[in-house]
Amino acid sequence: MAVEPETIRNVCLIGHRGSGKTALGEAMLGLASGRQGPQSNVLDHAEEEVERGMTLGMSVAHLEWKGRQINLLDTPGDGGFIADAFVAQRVADCAVLVVHAQDPIQVVTERVWRRGEKEGIPHIVVVNHLDRERADFASVVEQLRERFGQAVVPLNLPIGKEGGLKGVYGLLSGIAFVDGQQTNEVPTGMEEEVEIARVQMLETIAESDDTLLEKYLEGEGSLEGEERDVRGDPKGIADGLIIPVLAASVEKMIGVDRVLDVIAGSAPSPVDRSRWTTEEGEEVPCDPDGPFAAYAFKTYVDPYAGRLSVLRVVSGRCRSDEALTNPRTGSAERLGGISHLMGKERVNADEAVAGDIIAVAKLRDTHTFDTLCRPEAPLVFSHVPLPEPTTAFAVGAKTRGEEEKVFEAIRKVADEDPSLSLERSEDTGRTSSPGWRRCTWSSPSSASRGATG
């Protein structure tokens, strides 16, 4: 049985290369599965990713945490593969920006943040690698506030520094989490730091809500007991009035559970952020009882399983074997088995509901950025704007007669990576190697993830 939209959290992991996005995602998967450590090689599962130690394309996984279904979209941090990060920010309802404690703001950090502002997506910031030398949480927070605004506010503080990092102290809960143990005491020597950070945090939270602000100004308590504080009401985060910052060391598994708690308790659900509009400007609410509509945002081409389409269900419900239409092509499509992705693995699902992210195999004529809907209620969502292509070159077959084979292999790469443009040039047919193709791309991610050809 499908979950309801209110319990879904769609989150993309963004940030520069080396910040630890994938490590954070796999650590969260590990905790959700009951492990004490990460669930390795789930998100970076392609052979090239394992060899290079970097993410080359978007991966999707889901987990359950405290009554919430969290769909994770892990994205590349290298500027050459940034297109998938832009796509993820269109599809997700909240972005977790992971920054490196030693060098928090880099070029890709700025680029994904600017795209997030254009998409109107709220942010949660995780400061990772706080166990490293020269890691200074307070300095990182100041840099973030200078660059991204005064809405940036820490929700917890690291206990210890560099190699002596032991845990985190929750400013709202007043609980210190150290080595799996909890205590209500402020760590020794942190009293002044906690008080300053706590006042700053409460003022920022209060300013996001008139009722809370009034209570705060009138001195009616600390707001900690309010049911509508940042832990339980995603309004401030969804509106960008609060940008919470969390301390972490994923390598030491410090603060990872706190990140999960904030996502589950405070990240907006698809219902909180019903921001999908058609090409005609018509808003489509996240209504499980509305007409079915889904957006294909990623395509994988497996040499054995064939084409796999990843869909964000915008409205309605669907089951396997549903008869749908693709308004772009006019083609009829029938859904095969519905599943949730766990990296390269699939977990069967009986039904998908508005707000969910699902995978469907072997759609005949549906490509990335296509819309699927009921024949009686056609609508189309717009493509995600991608960076302009930066490189162009010709590709051809070494052996005469294998031109179509080469073209088909490159077409599969283009199916996986919408930032690659493939076109036939008739002029080059006069060369000694006929049937050349002209390709341009801005982020050749799929080519690096082992697409056939």
Q: What is the mean pLDDT of each run of 10 residues along the chain (453 residues)?
A: 87 96 96 89 83 87 95 93 94 97 95 94 96 96 94 94 95 89 92 91 74 57 42 64 94 96 93 88 94 95 82 94 92 91 91 95 92 94 86 77 77 77 62 40 43 34
- Which pLDDT does position 235 carry in this prediction? 65
Query: pLDDT at position 231, please?
Result: 44
Element (H, E) at 362: none
pLDDT at 52: 84
State residue 173's pLDDT score.
Answer: 86
Question: Do residues 170 and 258 make contact, with C-beta atoms less than 8 angstroms apart?
Answer: yes
pLDDT confidence of residue 216 = 52
Q: What per-residue confidence (pLDDT) applies to 407?
A: 76
| Structure token digits, residue 135 | 């890691």
CA distance 264 to 256: 13
What pLDDT is attached to residue 420?
78
For residue 219, the model assigns a pLDDT of 56
The pair of three-digit structure tokens given for residue 201, joined into one six-digit string: 């945090």
CATH number of this structure's domain 293-373, picked from the four choices 2.60.40.2240, 3.40.50.720, 2.40.30.10, 1.20.120.80: 2.40.30.10
Q: What is the number of helices (H) and of strands (E) in the chain?
A: 11, 24
- The reported pLDDT for the residue numbered 441 is 46
pLDDT at residue 208 in the model: 64
DSSP letter at 427 equals G
> Is the pTM above the cut of 0.75?
yes
For residues 15 and 116, the answer to whether their CB atoms sit within 8 Å is no
The pLDDT of residue 211: 62
The second-level CATH assignment, the architecture, of 5-266 is 3-Layer(aba) Sandwich (3.40)
* Per-residue pLDDT, 450: 38
- pLDDT score recorded for residue 224: 45
